[in-house]
Amino acid sequence: MKNLRLFLFIIFATVLRATSEPGDDLLGRARELATNHMRPEAVAMLKDHLREHPSDVDARLLYGLILSWEGRYGEAREQLKRVLATHPDYDDALRALINLELWSEHPDRVDQLTVIALRNRPDDTEYLYNRVRALKALNREREAIELVDRLLELQPDHPRAAQMRQDLEDQGREWSASVSQTHEWFTDPKIGGWDESQIALRRRIPYGSLIFRFSRAQHYGILGDQAELEYYWHLRRGTYAYLGAGYSPDANLYPHYRLNADLYHNFPQRLEGSVGIRHMAFSTNINVYTASLGRYQGNWLFTGRTYLSPDVRGLSHSVYFSARRYLNGKGDYFGFRFGRGSSLFETVRAIDLDLLGSTSGSVEMSRTLFRRWNFNFRAGASSEDRLNRNTLMHYLLDSSLTYRF
């Protein structure tokens, strides 16, 4: 992304050099400062100049560009919009604003801007490609495929369009099916291991995704079954909800029933927060309250989450931290997680009811295979204190395979 920004800067700088007055070298000095790791000095120079010469649109364009590289998207947006307000046909300013909205992850704004741009330049491949990127991010795959096909007609050798079309076809598949296997064991053989198999079917529907999952576990030779239904509901851009329900007819190893709900919202500065509740019915009812805060930093997602569970002993709590690095636009990643505490958390089973405290760590990865296939793997270990047992080691291996169709 930094290389792309530098490339775009060189293009814009060349255009600005050609349009500036021969005797005026302010833009040249500002460009030189910005490309030599002195962006704050370039910003200050241009700001002082614009205070005295507010109608200098070339200086204002360069000012907005450098602000956008500094991550000051709000200020940069204001400057570029001021340029377009007085010069609506200034093509370089429009391209700069479109790239800013792409970098700041506002595909809805990119869609609106590229629609305007394509009215005047319907065969401009850069505008076409940027609108395809916006439509892909907005999950409007059919429109995006139609547009990328037009782009390939205009430029069959476009360096990214063919791959984009393939990605759109994969992203637009409405069904996926998965199988997973989990194996857990303890250093104390008296506790017995936990083996669990799952099958799941996922369907994309308007405003979200619906998932059906069936699980069968074995512990101490006892079998237990659970059926689950989950719904990820997109309420509006930046806000979505998670609703889940599970039922175990035998209630041997899983709660007799459970209900989950979370509300997620994206905040400025690439932050995402959530609040939620878990209700589980064992021999007694258990409620777990949860909240999280995550931040995207480059290709990384850092998340902290807490679980609070009131019971007869008081308020049990756990805190977890995870870091995940995304490798590409397909959702491939690797990451790790560290946790400490004593409350119950996401996967509550019968073997978790005597947990008093633990310190845990795990690593995970997700990788796309042969376009439609995806493989997930997780391995972890924890040191636990349980009723009548101290410093017990608990190990976990989990893998799953998903196919989209």
Equal CATH topology for 2-171 and 178-404: no
pLDDT score, position 329: 76
The whole-angstrom separation of Cα 224 and Cα 399 is 20
CATH classification of 178-404, choosing from 2.120.10.30, 2.40.160.40, 2.60.40.10, 3.30.70.260?
2.40.160.40
Domain boundaries, the chain: 2-171, 178-404
Q: Helix, strand, or coil here: 245?
A: strand
Q: Are 59 and 26 in contact (CB under 8 A)?
A: yes
Closest by CA position to 9, among listed 74, 92, 72, 126: 92
pLDDT score, position 298: 85
- φ and ψ of 320, to 5 deg: -130, 145
The whole-angstrom separation of Cα 15 and Cα 153 is 28
Tokens of 189: 């053989």
Count the Cβ atoms, other than its own, within 10 Å of residue 143: 16
Residue 18 makes CB contacts below 8 A (sequence gap 6+) with none
Intervals of the chain under pLDDT 50? 1-2, 6, 9-10, 13, 16-23
Count the Cβ atoms, other than its own, within 10 Å of residue 42: 25
pLDDT score, position 387: 86
Nearest-5° Cα angle at 245, 239 to 247: 170
Q: Are 97 and 129 in contact (CB under 8 A)?
A: no
pLDDT score, position 18: 47
Nearest-5° Cα angle at 329, 328 to 335: 50
The DSSP output letter for 350 is G
The residue whose two tokens read 């459970």 is 258
pLDDT score, position 345: 59
Closest by CA position to 61, among listed 118, 11, 103, 104: 11
Q: Helix, strand, or coil here: 19?
A: helix
Which CATH class, in words, describes the domain spanning 2-171? mainly alpha
Torsion on CA atoms 161, 166, 172, 174, rounded to nearest 10: 180
CA 348 to chain centre: 26
**pTM metric for this prediction:** 0.78
Closest by CA position to 355, among listed 364, 363, 365, 345: 345
Residue 267 makes CB contacts below 8 A (sequence gap 6+) with 273
